[in-house]
Structure 1
Amino acid sequence: MTLPLRAESLARMDRVRPLAPGLLVLLGLAASAIVLTFLQASSGWVGPAVLALLLTIAAQPIRSWLVRLGAPDWVRFLVPLLAVLVFLICMGVAIALAITQLISLLPAHSEKFTALADRTIAWLSSLGIDTSELWARASRLDPANLVPYLQTALNGLLNVGSAGILLVTLLVAMSLDAGALGRELDRLEPAKPALVRALRGVVRDTYSYLKVSTIFGALMATCDVVVLFALGVPLPWLWGLLAFIANYIPTLGFLLALIPPALLTLVISGPAKALLVVAAYIAINFVTQSLLLPKFLSGAVGLSVTLTMLSLIVWTSVLGPLGALLAVPMTLMVRALLLDIDPAKRWAGRLLTGSDPRP
């Protein structure tokens, strides 16, 4: 009896046809939409959780160095955690200082800005352009009008609330588990080599992304500071630090770093010097971020420029402003869990990244 039953089951299996590729794509898109909707609804804790994981990975070299020194477990836990917390505090203070300086400087130069707007409208009128509507709008233009928005951003930065507490709590938990997780992956590797390889690939590529971005961000910020010093722009070190922080946000970070010094230069020194600041920032950004960084970043993490831009759009819409900062690491995680874990899907990795995924 067993042989006929087995033959019948095999015959049924032969009659089962695989799903058409188009239908598989549609099912994948539907599942992705469900997951992204869940992540968007849960962005209040998903964003801090991914940021905590990113910072834990960033501190891995410190942890590895302490292991080589033979440091006890409590030192391997405490030193990387303190390094991450000090980094977060410094970045928060830098952003708060930038906003505070703008709040204090912009209202003092309202008259200069109004005079500049009047001269611009008068020049347009001399060219025969109808400026009647511009005169009405120019009367409402005042740098002091930006102060309430800047104060709102500053208050939001200072009042971190539950998100900040959650972030610190997760950082502590992940720092405690970092060493044990590495040992568990070593034990799991003989049974699940593809899974372990994919998870280690996420850590490797995320750290490579952070390292390359940090190097080029420091280079770009240094060039910005030199230019701002040469042009006599106030607070050049502060704007350089802001450019370094904003470097971790693809594309949008450039605008965030450019607007404060350009706006301040426009109000204080006029449009000519402001245009020089804008031109210098564009040139520096083009060389470091558009010519050099993609070559090194593509080799480091295997993401194409197109995929990076799409990930920025998707994760910003799902997780909000924090998604812009986490766009590349989140895409690396998704790629590892959906593609790198299955050798049969390496062709999809080549299509998405423009290169053969590394083993």
Structure 2
Amino acid sequence: MRWPWRRRELPPVPSVTEVVERRWMLPRTLIILLSIIGTIGVLILLSQVATFVAPIFLGVNLVIAVMPLQQWLLRLGAPKIVAALAALLTVYVFLAALFWSIYWSVQSLVQELPGYGPEFNALYRNVMAWLEGFGISQDEALHQLQSAFSPSAIASGLTSVLSNAGTVLAFLATLTVVVFFLAWDSMHLPERVERIALTHPGIVRGVDRFAAGVQRYWVVTTLFGLIVSALDLVALTALGVPLALVWAVFAFVTNYIPNVGFVVGVIPPTLMALLANGPINALLTAILFSVINFVMQSLVQPKVAGDAVGVTPATSFLSLLVWAFALGPVGALLALPATLAVKTLIVDPDPRLAWASALMSNKLEPPRHGRLGRAVSPGVHGTSGVQGAT
């Protein structure tokens, strides 16, 4: 006699692939730690090869920025080589104008300073008297100046300047060659993109988003530089600061250094205002110049540039710190394009990194399950999929 029993449903037998995946699955904490260590390692590696990577990436940015001009000439029927040469000359003219502006500003300051010899001597006497009020005698101050400007200190400073000059020249030479070859290869870029799109359309879409973001970034940065330069020119002229046009052009150049460029640009006009018009005028110059440039460069421009590129203002600021560490001073200039490259080419194509894309993006779709995340957005209501499952 057979006794009846309740038939139990056995779980499905896992496949070989599932068994292997479970065997090699690492704990989530370990995956996060390894990811952080890997990211830091990549940044350190980039900092070691920054002199090689920075000019290449800057060249890529500049060629992409002038590509609309090249495409416009092609639509007008111009030969490919003519359109490529026009784009190449545009980049070279931009770089030449940029570095000539820096040279012109420094040269103008050097030529103007000797005319303020009496004012400089009076300023020196006032500083000495002010130091004596704190118990620092003139002999002690001169001793400190002599130690700071001793032959060994000057030799060390000149060696550092020459070393930096050699680095700058090597950077410019590499950038010039990179831009030339990239512009030359751009003649056949459409055919290559079409061929890649046949087998890897996702890569083409990512590169296209990156190129569009880079073009918007450079346009926004240049426009804000012109606005800041015009406002500085009006302010410095109203305060009677000598060489107001020179310092306005210098402010336009330093505007390409996000968030902190105005710190470099405020020094020359403040010094000229101090020598020409006295400490009160210099203080007003520093305050007005800093307010204009800080508000525009550090508050408004990162928001607008972040919207143009597609990242949040916090991501824009953090990218400045990260890429300045990885690529040096040029990394500060290329912070947003570099972050955009990582986002569009690495983060966005991977569905597993959708959470990182959501944190970086400034435009989000409404969530499907409102209760998820009520700790950070209590105004959102709805029912979550997890709760419904229970």
What TM-score range do you get, normalising by the shorter chain?
A: 0.7 to 0.9
CA deviation string 1:72-105 (max 9, x = no partner): 0111110110111111111111101112222333
CA contact (8 A) 2:66 2:91 kept: yes
Q: Where does residue 25 of structure 2 map in the other structure?
A: 18
Q: How does 1:292-331 map to 2 (within 5 A)?
A: 292-331=300-339
Answer with 173-182 or 285-294: which moved more: 285-294
CA deviation string 1:92-142 (max 9, x = no partner): 1110111222233335535523433543564687xxx63426984378679
Q: How does 1:1-359 map to 2 (within 5 A)?
A: 9-10=16-17, 12-13=19-20, 15-16=22-23, 18-109=25-116, 111-119=118-126, 122=129, 130-132=134-136, 136-137=140-141, 160-356=168-364
Q: Which runs of 5+ in 1 are unaligned?
A: 1-5
CA gap 1:119/1:267 in 2 versus in 1, 3 angstroms: same
CA contact (8 A) 2:307 2:362 kept: no
TM-score (norm 1): 0.85
The whole-number CA distance in structure 2 between the counterparts of 1:159 and 1:25 is: 37
CA gap 1:150/1:322 in 2 versus in 1, 3 angstroms: farther
The whole-number CA distance in structure 2 between the counterparts of 1:159 and 1:347 is: 40
TM-score (norm 2): 0.78
Deviation at 1:12, TM superposition (A): 2.1
Deviation at 1:242, TM superposition (A): 1.2
| Amino acid in structure 2 at the alignment position of 1:98 | S
CA gap 1:45/1:14 in 2 versus in 1, 3 angstroms: closer
CA gap 1:348/1:251 in 2 versus in 1, 3 angstroms: same
The whole-number CA distance in structure 1 between the counterparts of 2:166 and 2:230 is: 27
How many percent of aligned residue pairs carry the same amino acid?
A: 35
CA contact (8 A) 1:242 1:257 kept: yes
CA contact (8 A) 1:340 1:349 kept: yes
The whole-number CA distance in structure 1 between the counterparts of 2:167 and 2:278 is: 35
Deviation at 1:190, TM superposition (A): 4.3
Q: CA RMSD in A?
A: 3.2
The whole-number CA distance in structure 2 between the counterparts of 1:300 and 1:252 is: 20
The whole-number CA distance in structure 2 between the counterparts of 1:302 and 1:311 is: 13
CA contact (8 A) 1:103 1:150 kept: no
The whole-number CA distance in structure 2 between the counterparts of 1:135 and 1:223 is: 44
Matched residue pairs, number?
A: 348
Deviation at 1:151, TM superposition (A): 12
Q: Which runs of 5+ in 2 are unaligned?
A: 1-12, 366-390
Higher RCO by CA contacts (8 Å cutoff, separation 6 or greater)? 1
The whole-number CA distance in structure 2 between the counterparts of 1:279 and 1:310 is: 26
CA contact (8 A) 1:194 1:342 kept: no
The whole-number CA distance in structure 1 between the counterparts of 2:164 and 2:199 is: 47
The whole-number CA distance in structure 2 between the counterparts of 1:333 and 1:186 is: 21
The whole-number CA distance in structure 2 between the counterparts of 1:150 and 1:242 is: 24
